[in-house]
């Protein structure tokens, strides 16, 4: 587990937004050697690296704002890629409690024209 997802000294929830890519082994329209898959993985990695400091936050008074900002940054950057990449990239938020991953939820970036 990532060190940044470990709560220190209490049972406070920590949240992490990750950029996910369609699994080529479960997709009928995507292969691991496809350019679209490779481009999607590259995009996901770039977005996570760019916004990593905003993609992990704790449950506190600013949690709602932190969550909103993380989603906004992710969706904005996903939209900068061509449709062939966007269709395979989405964000997901997971909850961590005392080093244990709890349920999370996923969301696709809005399908806006660039």
Q: Are strands 100-107 and 13-21 parallel, antiparallel or unpaired?
A: unpaired
- Provide the 3-class DSSP secondary structure of residue 6: coil
Q: What is the pLDDT of residue 7?
A: 40
Structure tokens at 74: 């992710």
Q: 9, exposed or middle or buried, with CB in 10 Å at 0-12, 13-18, 19+?
A: exposed
- Looking at residue 109, the DSSP 8-state letter turns out to be P
pLDDT tens sequence across 35-53: 889 999 999 999 999 999 9
Q: What residues does each domain of the chain span? A: 3-107
pLDDT-based confidence at residue 1 (cuts at 50, 70, 90): very low
pLDDT tens sequence across 80-103: 999 989 989 999 998 888 878 887
Helix then strand then coil, % of the chain, to nearest 5: 40, 25, 35
Q: How far is CA 86 from CA 6, 33, 43, 93, in A?
A: 31, 17, 9, 18
CA-to-CA distance for 48 and 20, rounded, in angstroms? Answer: 10
């Amino acid at each position: 587990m990532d060190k940044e997802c470990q709560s220190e000294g209490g049972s406070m929830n920590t949240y992490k937004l990750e950029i996910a890519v369609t699994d080529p082994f479960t997709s009928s329209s995507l292969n691991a050697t496809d350019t679209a898959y490779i481009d999607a993985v590259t995009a996901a990695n770039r977005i996570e690296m760019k916004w990593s400091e905003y993609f992990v936050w704790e449950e506190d008074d600013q949690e709602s704002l932190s969550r909103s900002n993380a989603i906004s940054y992710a969706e904005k950057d996903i939209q900068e890629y061509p449709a062939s990449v966007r269709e395979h990239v989405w964000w997901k938020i997971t909850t961590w409690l005392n080093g244990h991953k709890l349920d999370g939820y996923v969301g696709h970036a809005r399908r806006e024209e660039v």
